[in-house]
Structure 1
């Protein structure tokens, strides 16, 4: 299984460009992170180069990551893909390696779980997806795989979400399926 990993090694100048993009998006979308200061986010990123690498991967694949709040009293910042549609560079993937291996014909390039792991991010859960939707209308034309409970996955299914008719919907599909308009959104905590 192959996947383009032009984002795998972040050079210093690339890290600076990613930080600039993150800061600009952060400042343009303050409604996503009320009470969170950029200096706090910047300091956390400077102390976590692996997380900056993951954010670079999110940015390079079209995710437009932004802070959507903090996760705990210590001020852990939660970044999430905030692109209007499922990230372009992460579409046409089946759900996981087992689904990819089960396909006998027309295999996609890779699968969402392995790509997320390679990027250093996690697929959004259904709850995280619903939280993201509080900050805008995402996936109005696309859909995104989400983390799937083991009991559903054991039966061959996987979950995906989208937004239609002003509502968030959760659906199921065979985990081996893939579509040009379905990708995945991820998150990383710093």
Structure 2
């Protein structure tokens, strides 16, 4: 595997990496049935077998400490939806601006990357505010960190970006400049398989 904080350019897993990832995902799936009541691992596994490019994206989520797990099944499209389920914002995706424009607008102390480009390179999407709140209904996340979420274009055009966290027993939505970054702010992603 590549270094934990870099995104791999090769979008295919070796048979060993594939089996290791599937084993990790299966254990996580079975340990956290409250996240996906009524779903069966064998059906998820079959979908993953049929979509090997999605395994690469899941591996990127795992490699950057996102701990992806199934949180939903879209019955109309017959797709399983994975979210990052790490207790805190994924360690391998923190200290990033919201997007490239935010990164390029910084005059000094630029971070190495931005959330939108990283997500695109991984083949995933940032959670929306609604998805973030749905995730928080499953269990408590981001009690010490925060996560960028997809920002509406009208807010982004004015230079802002949105992020969320959980404090004092509530989920909060905040705004900040898209160029800001903090050691405790990263992003959570979703992937449809």
Q: Which residue of 1 aligns with 2:189?
A: 186
* Equivalent in 136, 139, 158 of residue 136 of structure 1: 139
The C-alpha deviation readout for 1:85-108, integer Å capped at 9, x for no partner, is: 000000000000111111110100
Classify 1:62/1:8 alpha carbon distance in 2 versus 1 (closer, same or farther; 3 Å).
farther
1:83 to 1:8, Cα distance in 2 relative to 1, 3 A: farther
> Which residue of the partner structure matches residue 104 of structure 1?
107
Partner of 1:165: 168
TM-score by length of 1: 0.96
Normalised TM-score (structure 2): 0.95
Larger mean CA deviation between 63-72 and 119-128 belongs to 63-72
2: CA distance between counterparts of 1:124 and 1:184? 8
Q: Is the 8 A contact 1:34 1:69 kept in 2?
A: no
| Structure 1 segment 67-86 matched on structure 2, within 5 A | 67-86=70-89
Question: Do the aligned partners of residues 7 and 134 (structure 1) sit closer, same or farther apart at CA in structure 2, a change above 3 Å counting?
Answer: farther
CA RMSD of the aligned region, Å? Answer: 1.1
Q: Secondary structure at the match of 1:31?
A: helix
Hey, which bits of structure 1, 4+ residues long, moved more than 3 A?
A: 6-9
Q: Which residue of 2 aligns with 1:4?
A: 6
Displacement of 1:66 after TM fit?
A: 0.3
Aligned length: 188
The CA deviation at 1:57 is 0.2
Q: CA deviation at 1:7?
A: 7.7
Change (3 A) 1:172 1:64: same
Residues 19-34 of structure 1 aligned to structure 2 (within 5 Å): 19-34=22-37
